[in-house]
Amino acid sequence: MKRYVYINDDESSHELFCDNRISNRKYTVLNFLPKNLWEQFSRFMNQYFLLIACLQLWSLITPVNPASTWGPLIFIFAVSASKEAWDDYNRHLSDKKANEKPVWVVRQGIRKHIQAQDIHVGNIVWLRENDEVPCDLVLIGTSDPQGLCYVETSALDGEIDLKTRVIPAACMGIDFELLHKIKGVIECPNPDKDIRRFDANLRLFPPFIDNDVCPLTIKNTILQSCYLRNTEWACGVAVYTGNETKLGMSRGIPEPKLTAMDAMIDKLTGAIFVFQIVVVMVLGIAGNVWKDTEARKQWYVLYPLEGPWYELLVIPLRFELLCSIMIPISIKVGWLGDDQFLYLKSKVSLDLVKSLYAKFIDWDSEMIDYETGIPSHATNTAISEDLGQVEYIMTDKTGTLTENIMIFRRCCISGVFYGNEGGDALKDTKLLNAVAGSSPDVVQFLTVMAICNTVIPIKSKTGAILYKAQSQDEDALVNAAAQLHMVYVNKNANILEIRCNGSVIKYEVLETLEFTSDRKRMSVVVKDCQNGKIVLLSKGADEAILPYAYAGQQTRTFIEAVEQYAQLGLRTLCLAWRELKEDEYQEWSLMFKEASSTLVDREWRIAEVCQRLEHDFEVLGVTAIEDRLQDGVPETIETLRKAGINFWMLTGDKQNTAIQIALSCNFISPEPKGQLLLIDGKTEDEVCRSLERVLLTMRITSSEPKDVAFVVDGWALEIALKHYRKAFTELAILSRTAICCRVTPSQKAQLVELLKSCDYRTLAIGDGGNDVRMIQQADIGVGISGREGLQAARAADYSIGKFRFLKRLILVHGRYSYNRTAFLSQYSFYKSLVICFIQIFFSFISGVSGTSLFNSVSLMAYNVFYTSVPVLVSVLDKDLSEGTVMQHPQILFYCQAGRLLNPSTFAGWFGRSLFHAIVVFVITIHAYAYEKSEMEELSMVALSGCIWLQAFVVALETNSFTILQHLAIWGNLVAFYVINWIISAIPASGMYTIMFRLCRQPSYWITMFLIVAAGMGPVLALKYFRYTYRPSKINTLQQAERMGGPILSLGNIEPQPRSIEKEVSPLSITQPKSRSPVYEPLLSDSPNSSRRSLGPGTPFDFFQSQSRLSSSYSRNCKDN
């Protein structure tokens, strides 16, 4: 599990570890074709289509020219293969560029210029400013006298701020020249992909230093693909090379997400597949029977008396080939990257429109964050429809709902509250006076504020001091301290300088006990350079500080202060300090060193050691930092909740803060409309009881319009998820709103998992690294490219600049995508079925022998061209305008419940295709009977009948016609004739002169009009009847929108100006004191309740709700 890297040892490591050649290629020139084909054909459905295509080579059974299947098949495979090849070639090029990049490496004690791919583990690599790091290095020297260097890690984690990296203590002060000769060993773990961890040790060999082990952390490394910035040079030892670097290891193909819609299309394809098999069997048997009874009498067919052994199979196989077009070719070949039994993903049309949906998101100018200029981006182009089907949104709080701009607002120092009057402590004259008067408590407090952190002050050219902070809270505190005349001026190695009221005080930082989300506090041990006193300064969450106050200190005021601030929605931190004795520190310091150089469980060991120091605090005070809500958050949440989406807030913050934020952003309603139920408890029993109580209340109130939300904290959640999963799942289903506070990243992911297991579509939105797991877990992950870096945005399927864009993302893009795909996929089936039914009908008048009515060219062009072009422009279709959807977000229910694509709508399309096939077939064979019944002519009449019907079907189903749609629909009709005229002009083609002959016949045109009228009349009448007398909500809104009716007055959302200050009072949680709350039942028909129960509406609605209901039952039972 470990690797030993010998620094500057040219020989030993060459065999052990790989060189630095990066290779991201999947293929080589030789294995490309077999490997790629193997990959493509490892999917079930591709094998099926290959089989079909192979069968078609058998001329005895093929209905048409094999080219009609082989053409598209080869085309589609060629497209995806060449895309793969192109990608691979580009990867190869970029690999090559990276591999051949010249770098300075020490070889035999001399610095040499070599290619990056020749770096070996243990080599010392020299970098200049703005160089890209070629492999993972452990720093051993920099140009900076303090051993610092700055790196930009955006390629690694997407964060654009500079990170400081420091050389290990053991290498400190080694002379520039000696660095070439340095020898030593680095003991480090085997390569992994964790870019936040590097638990290693370094031991330099004499003469450099005695055999002291020096611990290494991620701070001592610079990783591959980072850039060296603001540092003249740096050098380091290569520890991981080539594909074994942290970056190389973390490369991987993310598991593709599958939308609910894809799953539904799969199911439908499965059904069609079964239908096809049935048809083939029935027709096959009928064909064999007819052959034996009738065809033997038809002397002109000359059936031999004794056929070959496979004779019985010939007719069924012919029908299999005839019917294979039932599954549309434009939809059928594909499924790259899925291991399930999935066969459907149209490489051609569906993928194309899906990437267009994604482009629309990228292009949307209303979703650009104008403050930063960051547009929205859809990383995952395949799941846009799922956005329209979201049922649960799990949101982070800080940085997602709030702006993550921290402003220091209030504080409480030794029991005195500052900033309560003006709401801004920095302007509170009392505090200013206290600072001016150098009140010792206040000065001590400000000192902690200023130096208990990991902030680095940087002097800009103008002389102003800029702080580089990794946490926004620290930034706020340091800036506030600076404004209160406690200016953190400089950090020089371990020496901090602060300027307080004109005098400069120096501290030496002895240790930094870093913040972890488990410890919830951070501390620094500093030595006052003036008097040599060693002090421990701590700051942290109240429950991580206050219990550790020294015995006898009154913490009541602090608890009150914390509560009061939390009520205001402010983030609180408690500051504390303790003076350490020299020997106590020394003793502890040894333990700390040991802990920090362990390789196993280092984090836990360090936490344990820190615990030994962090006690008996003297609590100095409480700071309160405001984190303002982002613009438009309350409106967004309200709109989305109206759309029937349930919100869960998952935050690491305190319960009170979380509830306050939740209140102020409409997440929960204040009393009496809202009701908060608390699940708490420290033991299993307590949690169990509280859970049951909440569940009971939920069951009673679930039919009421009351906003009932439950609040659970991380501890109780842990127990609930572990022991009472079933009860908690039920609660999760019943509750529309939940607040989970103090939850860890993995708990966030667990909650998403829980809801997903109940078959809900979940969307997780977050901005920080702690949300990444939940974002990846959810069906749809949305990242906010905010101040906490781009980690979340990179992991997400969609990245947006502000929370409020979520509304547009879901209601506009998600909904349109869903509607469009619903139409597109069902239409694809429809058009294939029409042609297939006609073939089946024709087989009954051709002796069930499997003759194809249509010729190869027509069949191929029908699927690939005539019917795909008009439908592709349906990506521009909008059933309702964006404004209407925004005003009536409830309409999203149609997407959530899958109203537009489900077995019953599909049955409608199936029926329509059957009806149209009958219309075309019957009219054609009667109008072109007797002397006109020439095969080629009749086939063209039937085909053009289908094309005419397609055009009108698309036109009827299109809600909004733009110029492009007119062009595509009617242009396609014209193109059909033009193409066929061209083909008819080729003497060699079977269709020679056919189309010219037809177009000159009045009876042809009369037949066409008849087909259109007979085919579309009933469809139009039915649609009109439904539209007018049984309108769906969508129809009603369409009508209202286009008639200019008074829809605006009713569903309007007024932006509600809310400020945290005004709503301090109405909060009351169901605290232990009111344990058995009774609620008056109110009767109402809220969209929410009708969503889960039977909604008023047509029988169709009824059917839907029923299935919905039953599915929600099954959801409840799923967890058993």
Catalytic residue set: 396
- Range in contact with another protein (rule: CB under 8 A) among 48-56, 689-697, 1005-1013, 1054-1062: 1005-1013
Cα torsion 186, 189, 193, 196: sign: negative
How far is the C-alpha of 156 from the C-alpha of 151, rounded, in Å? 11
If one asks whether residue 908 binds another protein (CB under 8 A), the answer comes out as no
Q: What's the closest the beta carbon of residue 728 comes to another protein, in angstroms?
A: 27
Cα torsion through 43, 264, 331, 318, rounded to 10 = 80
How far is the C-alpha of 770 from the C-alpha of 400, rounded, in Å? 12
Cα torsion 477, 478, 483, 486: sign: positive
Residues 805-824 that bind another protein (CB under 8 A): 816
Using CB under 8 A, pick the residue from 632, 705, 769, 971 that binds another protein.
Answer: 705
Using CB under 8 A, pick the residue from 178, 929, 978, 982 that binds another protein.
Answer: 929
How far is the C-alpha of 340 from the C-alpha of 786, rounded, in Å? 36
Residues 641-660 that bind another protein (CB under 8 A): 641-642
544 and 584 in contact (C-beta within 8 Å)?
no
387 and 763 in contact (C-beta within 8 Å)?
yes
Residues 959-988 that bind another protein (CB under 8 A): 959-965, 987
The two three-digit tokens of residue 800, written as one number: 């947006």
Select 40 or 1090, whichever has its Cβ closest to another protein. Answer: 1090
Q: What's the closest the beta carbon of residue 1002 comes to another protein, in angstroms?
A: 6
Residues 1037-1056 that bind another protein (CB under 8 A): 1037-1043, 1045-1047, 1050-1051
3-state secondary structure of 369: strand
Q: Which residues contact 514 (CB under 8 A, 6 or more apart)?
A: 454, 522
Burial of residue 933 (number of CB atoms within 10 Å: 0-12, 13-18, 19+): exposed
Q: What's the closest the beta carbon of residue 94 comes to another protein, in angstroms?
A: 9
Q: What's the closest the beta carbon of residue 981 comes to another protein, in angstroms?
A: 14
Residues 31-70 that bind another protein (CB under 8 A): 59, 63
Give the position of tokens 């609605």: 1101
Distances (CA, A) of 105 to 8, 101, 171, 606: 10, 12, 18, 36
If one asks whether residue 146 binds another protein (CB under 8 A), the answer comes out as no
Residues 236-295 that bind another protein (CB under 8 A): 247, 294-295
Select 364 or 424, whichever has its Cβ closest to another protein. Answer: 364
Of 155, 174, 23, 197, whose CA–CA distance to 99 is shortest?
23
Strands 486-492 vs 495-500: parallel, antiparallel or unpaired: antiparallel
x-or-dash string of contact with another protein, 314-333, rule CB under 8 A: ----x---------------
x-or-dash string of contact with another protein, 99-138, rule CB under 8 A: ----------------------------------------
Q: What's the closest the beta carbon of residue 757 comes to another protein, in angstroms?
A: 29
How far is the C-alpha of 663 from the C-alpha of 568, rounded, in Å? 11
Residues 540-599 that bind another protein (CB under 8 A): none
Give the position of tokens 């591709």: 46
Select 216 or 942, whichever has its Cβ closest to another protein. Answer: 942
Residues 361-380 that bind another protein (CB under 8 A): 362-366, 368, 372-375, 377, 379
If one asks whether residue 471 binds another protein (CB under 8 A), the answer comes out as no
Say how many residues touch another protein, by CB under 8 A. 130
Burial of residue 769 (number of CB atoms within 10 Å: 0-12, 13-18, 19+): middle
Q: What's the closest the beta carbon of residue 422 comes to another protein, in angstroms?
A: 29
Using CB under 8 A, pick the residue from 927, 947, 951, 998 that binds another protein.
Answer: 927
Select 715 or 1027, whichever has its Cβ closest to another protein. Answer: 1027
Using CB under 8 A, pick the residue from 97, 926, 1075, 1118 that binds another protein.
Answer: 926
Across 1003-1016, b (16+ Cβ under 10 Å) vs e yields ebeebbebbbebbb
Give the position of tokens 């022991």: 723
Cα torsion 505, 508, 513, 514: sign: positive
Q: What's the closest the beta carbon of residue 990 comes to another protein, in angstroms?
A: 8
Select 129 or 560, whichever has its Cβ closest to another protein. Answer: 129
Burial of residue 881 (number of CB atoms within 10 Å: 0-12, 13-18, 19+): middle
216 and 188 in contact (C-beta within 8 Å)?
yes
If one asks whether residue 483 binds another protein (CB under 8 A), the answer comes out as no
x-or-dash string of contact with another protein, 151-190, rule CB under 8 A: -x-xx--x-xxx----------------------------
Phi, psi angle pair for 1077, to nearest 5°: -75, 145
Select 993 or 1074, whichever has its Cβ closest to another protein. Answer: 993
Select 72 or 789, whichever has its Cβ closest to another protein. Answer: 789
Helix (H) or strand (E) holding 935: helix 935-957
How far is the C-alpha of 290 from the C-alpha of 296, rounded, in Å? 9
If one asks whether residue 225 binds another protein (CB under 8 A), the answer comes out as yes
Of 792, 810, 960, whose CA–CA distance to 873 is shortest?
960
Of 390, 388, 401, whose CA–CA distance to 811 is shortest?
388
Q: What's the closest the beta carbon of residue 372 comes to another protein, in angstroms?
A: 6
- Range in contact with another protein (rule: CB under 8 A) among 325-333, 447-455, 586-594, 1001-1009: 1001-1009
Across 156-187, b (16+ Cβ under 10 Å) vs e yields bbbbeebbbbbbbbbbbebeeeebbebebbbb
x-or-dash string of contact with another protein, 1097-1116, rule CB under 8 A: x-------------------
If one asks whether residue 1095 binds another protein (CB under 8 A), the answer comes out as yes
If one asks whether residue 851 binds another protein (CB under 8 A), the answer comes out as yes
3-state secondary structure of 765: strand
If one asks whether residue 337 binds another protein (CB under 8 A), the answer comes out as no
The two three-digit tokens of residue 1009, written as one number: 């009009």
DSSP letter assigned to residue 811? I
If one asks whether residue 847 binds another protein (CB under 8 A), the answer comes out as yes
Select 196 or 297, whichever has its Cβ closest to another protein. Answer: 297
Residues 879-898 that bind another protein (CB under 8 A): 888, 890
Select 327 or 1008, whichever has its Cβ closest to another protein. Answer: 1008
- Range in contact with another protein (rule: CB under 8 A) among 213-221, 386-394, 832-840, 933-941: 933-941
If one asks whether residue 794 binds another protein (CB under 8 A), the answer comes out as yes
Q: Which residues contact 552 (CB under 8 A, 6 or more apart)?
A: none
923 and 942 in contact (C-beta within 8 Å)?
no
3-state secondary structure of 233: strand
Q: What's the closest the beta carbon of residue 276 comes to another protein, in angstroms?
A: 19
Select 79 or 1048, whichever has its Cβ closest to another protein. Answer: 1048
Q: What's the closest the beta carbon of residue 509 comes to another protein, in angstroms?
A: 22
Q: What's the closest the beta carbon of residue 1038 comes to another protein, in angstroms?
A: 6
Select 292 or 1085, whichever has its Cβ closest to another protein. Answer: 1085
How far is the C-alpha of 882 from the C-alpha of 860, rounded, in Å? 38
Select 300 or 309, whichever has its Cβ closest to another protein. Answer: 300
Select 85 or 155, whichever has its Cβ closest to another protein. Answer: 155
Using CB under 8 A, pick the residue from 32, 1027, 1100, 1103 that binds another protein.
Answer: 1027
If one asks whether residue 468 binds another protein (CB under 8 A), the answer comes out as yes
Using CB under 8 A, pick the residue from 23, 494, 557, 846 that binds another protein.
Answer: 846
- Range in contact with another protein (rule: CB under 8 A) among 617-625, 720-728, 841-849, 854-862: 841-849
